[in-house]
Amino acid sequence: MSETKMFTPGPGNVPLGVHLASIKSSTHHRTKEFKELFDRIQRKLQYVFQTKNDVLLLSSSGSGAMESVVSSLINEGDDIVVLSAGKYGDRWIHLCDAYKAKTRSIVADGEGTFDLESVEEVISHLRPKYVFVTHCETSTGITHDIRSISKICKKYGSLIIVDAMTTVGVEPVLTDEWSLDVVISSSQKGFMNPPGLSFITLSDKAWKNVKPKDHYSYWNLNIIRESSKDLTTPNTPPFSLLFGLDYALDKMETEGLNEIWKRHLICAECCRVGIEKLGFDLFHKKNLSSALTAVKLPEGDQMSDLLVNLKSKFDFMVASGQGELKNKIIRVGHIGSTKPIDIITLLSAMELVLAELGHPIRLGESVTAALEVIARYERNNLIQ
């Protein structure tokens, strides 16, 4: 059985080196060996998050990290503003409602973005305790301007909480420089690992609002922080995932964040010019994420055969739309270990499948367009 090549917004592809690191002999989380592993991971996570603050490790999905933040910070009746541009913004609303916050939402416009003047007007009027925002709305492929939103929050005394699941390790997330109070991410996207770990970093201001340890919960951030200071976890962690994460973080440090961000940007541009040469329209035209490309499907054509044939013939997995966008868009992920040559390979496979399905395709056209993107970046590097 061949290994499926993932072109989804997550989980992404897991490099062989991560798999091999993950099968090391296990250890115990109360040993010196584990403390050394934990310390290494902590330092490298601070680099990727661009923060001097601790980065907490949770044995959970990203959704678990979201609940950990909400349950640890929110008290009944707290004034909350959520900027929602789709499924994952809505998830913040559901969580805040579950913990009985007084939640108001700002819904993105038809282009999937937020008018910053309107955002400032709402925040200046409501003066919420927290503002929740999703950096990349993975259901639509839009990246939001969290740097500008953070400036608005600071102006009116609100703390900003950012879901950066899809963007940490993919495009710039400068936690300290942008004064982000809480940033969360997870292992299966930019970190090139399987699902199962999530990460949270908090500013000093945010820590002052975290509920004390006597509010006992698996999700209580003060309990997790206390163990973290002792270079361990409050509960038994998934050792194999931590070994794999340690290896992946080494690879990320070696490549360097600027090169990682650039590689993802090139992959995104290759994908988009290629997709358009295939005759498809992008779902949105601006503020596009480097993590994925959302593609509008032709009217009346669900194109389910495209995804089925990519999987059956080439073992390539591309994601469909979610919720109201199911059968209306497809989402091509280019995260983690993905390289421009992988996008070239995907476009080649899409050309062959579409030609077989009877769509008007000129073989090689999308690939040529993507190669021109790569060549342009190579020329610019030589000039520099």
Annotated binding-site ranges for substrate: 331
Using a 10 angstrom Cβ sphere, with 0-12 exposed, 13-18 middle and 19 or more buried, the burial of residue 259 is exposed
Which residues does 214 contact at the CB level (< 8 Å), separation at least 6? none
Tokens found for residue 104:
């108001």
Sheet strands side by side (includes 316-320)? 5-7, 316-320, 329-333, 292-296, 281-282
User: Which CA distances in Å does 23 have to 196, 198, 270?
Assistant: 16, 20, 35
Q: Count of CB atoms within 10 A of residue 329's CB?
A: 24
In our burial notation (b when 16+ CB lie closer than 10 A, e otherwise), range 66-87 reads bbbbbbbbbeeebebbbbbbbb
Tokens found for residue 8:
């989804």
Dihedrals phi, psi of 176, to nearest 5 degrees: -75, -45
Tokens found for residue 159:
């703390």
Q: Which residues are annotated as a binding site?
A: 331
d(CA 78, CA 327): 38
Handedness of CA 309, 310, 315, 318 (dihedral sign): negative
Contact 151, 123 (CB under 8 A): no
